[in-house]
Amino acid sequence: MSDDMQFTKNYSDISTNTGFQFEFFCDRCGNGFRTRFQASSTGTASTIMEGASSLFGGVFSSASNLTEKVRSATWQKSHDAAFARAVEELRPQFMQCPHCQSWVCRKSCWNDKRGLCKKCAPDLGVEMSAAQASKGVEQSGRMPRWMLMINRRPQEIGARQ
């Protein structure tokens, strides 16, 4: 894998013997983006030889062992190339914040107007709306003292004084 490849550290390798696939996650919200499946020619050949070996044994068993050695030798190189393609496939979905260096998804966590992630440059319109909604909920939860008194039994009111 190239040393100069830059991309998010938050990813999962969900590759199998038959191919490669990766999921990349936003550093801020955790949303995931999955790459397309990339078939592995060495994995497919290995699977075919393993099947023949289990059915027929003998020559196919030796061929299966040889295929596995070849697969092991070339699999890492194929895996690295598939990862590089996966990074390029999903790079347009992410931006790296120049302030905090986080890799964030464009859709939910990037502030286009400021050129920074929403952690470093929150969307003020959204923040104001959230603050107003929070204040409204807080205020609606308060009842005037006289309304509280109406709903209590006389012994409760006397006990509090």
Which uninterrupted H or E stretch holds 130?
Answer: helix 124-140
Lowest mean pLDDT among 1-15, 22-36, 46-60, 67-81: 46-60
Burial class of residue 91 in the structure, from the number of CB atoms within 10 Å of its CB (0-12 exposed, 13-18 middle, 19+ buried): middle
Q: What is the pLDDT of residue 148?
A: 57
- The more confident residue out of 83 and 3 is 83
The answer to whether the CB of 71 falls within 8 A of the CB of 45 is yes
pTM, rounded to two decimals: 0.62
d(CA 87, CA 24): 9
Give residues with Cβ within 8 angstroms of 92, minimum separation 6. Answer: 106
DSSP 93: G
CA angle 105/38/2 to nearest 5° reads: 65
Q: What is the pLDDT of residues 137-158, one digit of tens each?
A: 666 666 566 555 565 555 555 5
Q: How confident is the model at residue 60 (pLDDT cuts 50, 70, 90)?
A: very low
Q: What is the pLDDT of residue 138?
A: 64
Q: What is the pLDDT of residue 128?
A: 84
Span 79-98, average pLDDT: 94
**Which of these, 43, 121, 109, lies nearest to 82 by C-alpha position?**
43
